[in-house]
Amino acid sequence: MYRSTNPATGIVEAEFPTLSREEIVGAAEKSALAYRSWQRVSLQDRAQTLLRAAAAFEERADEFAEIITREMGKPISQSKGELFLVASICRYYGENAHELLADEKLNPASGDTALVRTSPIGPVLGIMPWNFPFYQVARFAIPNLLLGNTILLKHASNCPQSALAFEQVLHAAGVPTDAYINLLASSRDIAALIASPHVQGVSLTGSEKAGAAVAEEAGKHLKKVVLELGGSDPLLVLDGENLARTVKSALRGRFANAGQACIASKRIIVLDETYEEFSESFAQAVSSMTYGDPLDPTTFLGPLYSADAKTEILEVVQDALNQGAELLVGQHSVQDPHAFMAPMVLVGVTPGMRAFREEIFGPVAVLLRAEDTEHAIELANDSDYGLGAAVFSSDTEQANAVADRLEAGMVVINGVAGSQADLPFGGTKRSGFGRELGAYGIDEFSNKKLIRIPA
């Protein structure tokens, strides 16, 4: 079953049966048939469809935000922000369609007339997580729909109402029923879907384990795959200038969405000369944070998406404490109800601990002390992940030099990582491969077709 369980109360609010394997494989056939006609719809008409979807996401933001909050616990103000980000993605691709898909003229030495045309490839499968249940889908699906691909979407089993709402908006905006198919599918049936000769590519946002399994299946069948597998993003504080701004940014970067973001600032690395001042100010700010009702517009910190997630996080924290780390903030109370969890700041964490190596997907900040800039870079890069990073410094030249040496797909200077429709999103190392959004979101599942006329 797909279940909507309100993490703030633990109450199951809706249930939906999963599809049979035959229905899932049949959906791939329908998607392939729809592709024949969807790719022939004019680019202008596809763009207008996305613009209508953008308007619908904005107009119904309050309605959809409540669905997000009830299904995975995100504070309602942040849920609304997610909806407006989704609308901006639809609008960006709708308004820039012709520029994004314009032919690229080449000048070969032979004197031939040559160009590269960006063409669709067919049905593509998206396997999406729960933490941004509308945005993650938009990031994958919208550029591919503009290109002319058709979409099969397998969403997380705890946010079926978000998945159904997204599908309803697209169909109402003009995307044909079989050009975007939401699949309430069991994970055990995904291999059969990837194996379908109709599916031409797979995009997954999720865990390393899930990414490895999907990549293996895709490789068996020679399917293109894009993976975004999370991270343990460093935030480097290189001096004490503008400290209040830096602390505020670090709070937002670590604790928005209860820390359940792949690009959250999970490891905060502070130079020795600034460490005491920063840690005191940061700890005070975190101590003043309290969780609250996610449906209250004033709440910043809501529950985790499930009580089980809290248990997993506390196991990682306890492992660090057992090895000598300390809690600067957050002596956890077992009385925290349901999926709520008090924010924590861990200090004294060393590279041998799980808290240093693993992605902590919740409201726990790891605060690390660096001897100097070289040591800060060393700590930042001492990770299997490489998604995003942040560098705070009053010296822009220094910040740029440090950013250049960080092993990450995205680096923000004097700000924290985020997402924007016209900028590429993706990582390196075990954070996955491939890029989404911007022109890059069009290119991943496209045929860069060469058309050549000899001189």
- CATH code: domain of residue 92: 3.40.605.10
Whether residues 179 and 266 fall in one domain: no
Residue 120 resides in a domain: yes
Predicted pLDDT at 350: 96
Beta bridge partners of 73: none
Residue 175 within any structural domain of the chain = yes
With respect to residue 115, please indicate whether it lies within any of the assigned structural domains. yes
Residue pLDDT, tens place only, 375-399? 999 999 999 999 999 999 999 999 9
Q: Tens digit of pLDDT for each residue in 122-180?
A: 999 999 999 999 999 999 999 999 999 999 999 999 999 999 999 999 999 999 999 99
Per-residue pLDDT reduced to its tens digit, 253-274:
999 999 999 999 999 999 999 9
Do 32 and 127 reside in the same domain of the chain? yes
**Count of CB atoms situated within 10 Å of the CB of 70:** 25
Domain presence at residue 242: yes
For the question of residue 228 being annotated catalytic, the response is yes
Strand partners, 106: 114
Q: Which residues have a Cβ under 8 Å from the Cβ of 46 and sit 6 or more positions away?
A: 38, 97, 145, 146, 148
Choose the catalytic residue: 90, 167, 217, 262.
Answer: 262
Provide the domain count of the chain: 2
Is 239 found in the same domain as 196?
no
Query: What's 305's domain CATH number?
Result: 3.40.309.10
Answer yes or no: is 253 within a domain.
yes
For all residues of the chain together, what is the average pLDDT?
96
Can you read off the two tokens belonging to residue 196? 């379908």
For residue range 300-337, list pLDDT tens digits in order: 999 999 999 999 999 999 999 999 999 999 876 556 78
Same domain for 175 and 106: yes
Q: Which two tokens stand for residue 406?
A: 């960080």
Length of the chain as a residue count: 455
pLDDT single digits (tens) 205-217:
999 999 999 999 9
pLDDT at 333: 59
Alpha carbons 231 and 419: distance in angstroms, whole number: 15
In a domain, 328, yes or no: yes
Q: Is 432 helix (H, G, I), strand (E, B) or coil?
A: strand
Co-location of 208 and 224 in the same domain: yes
Q: How would DSSP label each residue in 144-185?
A: HHHHT-EEEEE--TT-HHHHHHHHHHHHHHT--GGGEEEE--
Residue 374 maps to a domain: yes
Enclosing domain of residue 101: 2-229+431-453
Q: Do 321 and 353 share a structural domain?
A: yes
Tens-digit pLDDT profile for residues 38-69: 999 999 999 999 999 999 999 999 999 999 99
Indicate if 165 and 302 belong to the same structural domain.
Answer: no
Dig out the tokens for 338 from the structure.
């349901």
Predicted structure pTM score: 0.96
Report the pLDDT value the prediction gives residue 338, as an integer from 0 to 100.
85
In the three-class reduction of DSSP (H, G, I as helix; E, B as strand; rest coil), residue 452 is classed as strand
The candidate with the shortest Cα–Cα distance to 325, out of 285, 352, 360, 306, is: 352
Catalytic residue among 228, 358, 407, 444: 228
Do 411 and 442 fall into the same domain?
no
Rounded Cα distance between 320 and 239, Å, is 27
**Considering just the CA atoms, what is the radius of gyration of the chain in Å?**
23
**Residue 426, in any domain of the structure:** no
